[in-house]
Amino acid sequence: MSFAELIWRNITSRSVRSLLTAAAVAIGITTVVALGVLTHSLKVTATSVLKTGSADFTVAQEGVSDVLYSAMDEEEVSRIASDPGVDKVVGVLIGVAQLDKDHPFFLRLGLPPGQLADFGVDVVDGRPYSADAPDEIILGYRAARDLGKKVGDDFTVENDSYRVVGIFRTGQVFGDSASMLSLSQLQAEERKPGDVTLAFVRVKEGQDVDAVRKRIEQANPELATVRTESEFGRVDRNLELIKAANTGATILALVIGAVGVSNTMMMSVFERTREFGVLRAVGWSRLRVLFMVLNEGFLLSFIGAAAGCLAGYLVVQALQDVPALRGVFNPTWEAGVFGRALALAFGMALVGALYPAVRAARLAPIAALRHE
């Protein structure tokens, strides 16, 4: 019998308790995996808007809770465009509408039709809307597929009626799940004349992007430029809150899992006191006893982690069908999610099993053998 076989036998001989402990670990890991994927995916979706149209950077109002609440006027967009390092600027107004209970979060993007190509929009069916046709709209291919719309269909958003004249593709979930119409029309419908939400900036070839950003921020102190995902928090506090919630949930999962493992291992150590005495009497060292109990904790945790990763995957699949997340949640699986789950399982085992293991190892053999 190998040491590993012994550990397996020790775990499986108390199968109900082991399963319950693994389940406690699994719940924690499920939470971490699902929240991790959700947070990461929301971040990818949210930050994908920053990369639209191969922009070098995006400009938004600084410090807003949600990037969609950013408000800039077209004068500011013109000021940005006048910077000597700027090649092109596209000002986009973003409006949020509720289509029905299954589509509570539908985006309308307003921008001049002549700038669609600069915004990275590829009209794959029909044609772009006209600047002077207030009832024309184009739909992202995901939105069209989800809503069952095609070119020529009527389409109503809240009280505004449109005719679908084209289907587009941007290559990003955020954009492909939205609609686009003329900037002036959306400004009128949103009662935001002259306003845009974001400005997408491309700098001239050979220009220092960071120098251009610095000049724009100095000239417009109320605006912030964002180039990387890590800077997104400057223009969207929500994502920071989600990340904080994710961190909190991870810590909570660690505590719950560690308490579960600790409870089981403590009970096990107490019940097996005589067993440890026997092992010490036949010559097992303290270190070997410590290693055995610790490894039992690790095995329990990793069984729970495997189950938790599977359950997390299933939860994420189920989340895709939640109406509120349609169009904004497209799961992106990264190895880091599972890496964090394994690290968490390791942490749960270490925190939960260390004290029981030390206690088992420190038992005096003679006292352990006398234990009733």
Partner 1 sequence: MSRPAPPAIETVDVVKTFDGGIIRALDGVSLRVEAGEFVALTGPSGCGKSTLLHLIAGLDSPTSGAVWVDGQELGRIRDMDAFRRREVGLVFQLHNLLPHLTALQNIEVAMLGNGFSHKEQRQRAQELLEAVGLGAKAKTEPTRLSGGERQRLAIARALANRPRVLLADEPTGNLDSESVDRVLKLISGLRDSLLAVLLVTHDAHVASMADRVVRMRDGRVE
Residues that bind partner 1 (CB under 8 A): 1-3, 6, 9-10, 13, 274-275, 277-286, 288, 364-366, 369
Residue ranges of the alpha helices (H) in 69-226?
A: 74-81, 141-147, 173-176, 183-189, 209-219
Residues 6+ apart with CB under 8 A from 358: 290
Which one-letter amino acid corresponds to residue 232? F
Name the β-bridge partners of 86. Answer: 203
Q: How far is the CB of 3 from partner 1 (least distance, A)?
A: 6
Q: How far is the CB of 285 from partner 1 (least distance, A)?
A: 4
Residue 100, burial from CB neighbour count under 10 angstroms (0-12, 13-18, 19+): exposed
Q: Which is nearer to partner 1, 10 or 179 (CB)?
A: 10
> DSSP strand E in 243-350: where?
none
Q: How far is the CB of 286 from partner 1 (least distance, A)?
A: 8
Identify the residue whose tokens are 């199968």: 15
Q: How far is the CB of 371 from partner 1 (least distance, A)?
A: 11
Q: 3-state secondary structure string, 154-199?
A: EEEECCEEEEEEEEEECCCHHHHCCEEECHHHHHHHCCCCCEECEE
Q: Which is nearer to partner 1, 9 or 362 (CB)?
A: 9
Q: Which is nearer to partner 1, 282 or 335 (CB)?
A: 282
How big is the chain, counted in residues?
Answer: 372
CB 29 within 8 A of CB 344: yes
Q: How far is the CB of 143 from partner 1 (least distance, A)?
A: 60
Q: How far is the CB of 355 from partner 1 (least distance, A)?
A: 22
Q: Using CA atoms, how far apart are residues 353 and 363, in angstroms rounded to an integer?
A: 16
Q: How far is the CB of 369 from partner 1 (least distance, A)?
A: 7
Q: Which is nearer to partner 1, 75 or 372 (CB)?
A: 372
Checking phi first, is residue 188 left (phi over 0); if not, alpha (psi -120 to 50) or beta? alpha
Q: Which is nearer to partner 1, 194 or 365 (CB)?
A: 365
Q: Which is nearer to partner 1, 23 or 278 (CB)?
A: 278
Q: In this structure, what token pair is assigned to residue 57? A: 């950077």
Q: Which is nearer to partner 1, 314 or 364 (CB)?
A: 364
